[in-house]
Amino acid sequence: MKPAMATEMEEKKQMVLSLCTCTQCPSFEDCGEEGGYCFPAIGKSGCITVEEGCICGGCPVYEKMGLEHLYYCSRGSEKEQTGT
């Protein structure tokens, strides 16, 4: 990955984490992860295994990035769920 692309990706990741509401979700498990599971460079959680409710649709990142799926923590990023 070119340095400019890496910088842009890191900036997007930081934007996602700054707006992320994952830690407020009923499915969230506090295991040291920051959230931002919708972002491909982060991906799904390594510790969330039970879907106990989803607030992805109300997250600012969801609207800002034009996301369409839910349960990114357990099912993977938008990219993963669409298979692209």
- Give the model confidence (pLDDT) of 3-42 as tens digits: 788 899 999 999 999 999 999 999 999 999 999 999 999 9
**Contact between 69 and 81 (Cβ < 8 Å):** yes
Q: What is the pTM of this model?
A: 0.89
pLDDT band at 1 (very low <50, low <70, confident <90, very high): low
pLDDT at 38: 95
- Give the model confidence (pLDDT) of 57-66 as tens digits: 999 999 999 9
